[in-house]
Amino acid sequence: MRYLLFILALVLSNNITSAQQAINGEVAITIDVKNMKAVPLRIVLKRNSLSYDERFTDTLKFSESQTNFSYQVKEPVDCDMIFFWEGRATTNKRLWITPGQYTVYISENRESKIVKSSPDKLSDALVDFEQKRKLNYQIGAMTVSKFDYDRKSIAEAEKQIFAYRDSMKRELDENVYRKTMMENLDNPLGLYAFILYAENPSGNQRFKTQPGEMMKLMRSLSPEVQTLPSAKMMEARLNRGQALLAGEVIKDITLPNAAGRSVKISDYKGKYVLVDFWASWCTPCRQEHPNLINAYKKYNAMGFSILSISRDARKDKAAWLAAVSKDRTGIWTQLSDFDDLAQRTYDIHTLPSNYLIDPTGKIIGRDLHGEELNIQLAKLFKK
């Protein structure tokens, strides 16, 4: 059987070691296609840092019988190899890259097999960890699919399903994420597990609501692990979270409105303002718009306003403006964030998100939606 030989050789340098294993160095890729009749048009490597704050895409094109490529890695990398073939067909293989030499064999039927030249306990541990996460989700989905709805009202059934899902999430948080972290304080797996723990639960992430406690927990990691790029990025995120807690003055930024005029957050001092983050493609965001419209009409004359910041990309400006028109939210100021300034400043990673600020610019609420927002506004404007 003919194979495409794809060799990833990582030349070690400036090593940080964990259990005798280096975790940073130079990646040298050699592709040998001499014995293959049909070769991929190209291979795309999508690389993600442990924190997923950094994403890189490398494209390897075939022009001769052998191709070489190299780059640096500073920590384990979650890599997705995508093979593009004639006829627009694609195949892919996901793996964790750590220093060492990999051989990726692609058979004539385009199936891939990856062999590493030396034992890699760290990559194996990362793969096992991902399997635990996947198993948790599969068990949850299977249990919900087999739920007995007989003689239960819709409200009762939903309550039980939500309670079960919450228990599964707690199980994942405490017995997978946190437990794995505490068992791996001296290697990157501990950092990866910590990041996932801090980014949960969804909608109420700990790095937002408990940045101080999460910082203390992160300090449990070994000094070597805390020097990794993703640890530094997580530290910066926790510092931003600390600055965005209730009682802190929101940082002022300037963004353009639909007409290109610059608008500052501080332009709204003297009013209660909901700084709302949304996008035209975000269904939950747009489902919330009728509630925001009602709140705006009810309290605007009393000193309440809304400042909507779209997370649509520059190329999707038309879709953003069309959504504003269709949802009839143009009654308050609409701003764009094409350069991600607001996203970085206010650490927006999920939608919908919002901050409620008082007339002095202090944050008094975060991620208030539906009835929760209505109750808070009623308290603020009670007569």
Q: Radius of gyration (Cα) for the chain, nearest Å?
A: 25
Q: Averaged over 107-136, what is the pLDDT?
A: 80
What are the residue ranges of helices labelled H in 205-339? 206-209, 211-218, 223-226, 229-243, 283-299, 317-327
- Rounded distance, CA 261 to CA 320, Å? 17
Look at domain 249-381 and name its CATH class: alpha beta
Q: Is 60 exposed, middle or buried (0-12, 13-18, 19+ CB in 10 A)?
A: middle
Q: List pLDDT tens digits, range 240-263.
A: 989 999 899 999 999 999 999 999
CATH for 25-118, among 3.40.1710, 1.10.3470, 2.60.40, 3.30.1360?
2.60.40
The least confident of 6-20, 294-308, 326-340 is: 6-20
Residue of 167, 172, 100 whose CA lies nearest to 129: 172
The residue whose two tokens read 């793996």 is 95
The least confident of 14-18, 125-129, 315-319 is: 14-18
Which residues in the chain are classed under CATH 3.40.30.10?
249-381
Strand ranges for 134-268 from DSSP E = 254-256, 262-264
90-97 vs 55-61, strand pairing mode: unpaired
The least confident of 73-82, 260-269, 273-282, 349-358 is: 73-82
Which residues in the chain are classed under CATH 2.60.40?
25-118
- Rounded distance, CA 106 to CA 114, Å? 9
Task: Work out the pLDDT band at 12, boundaries 50, 70, 90.
Answer: very low
Q: List pLDDT tens digits, range 58-117.
A: 777 665 455 667 778 888 888 888 888 888 889 888 888 887 787 777 777 777 777 777
The pLDDT of residue 215 is above 80 = yes
- Higher pLDDT, residue 34 or 323: 323
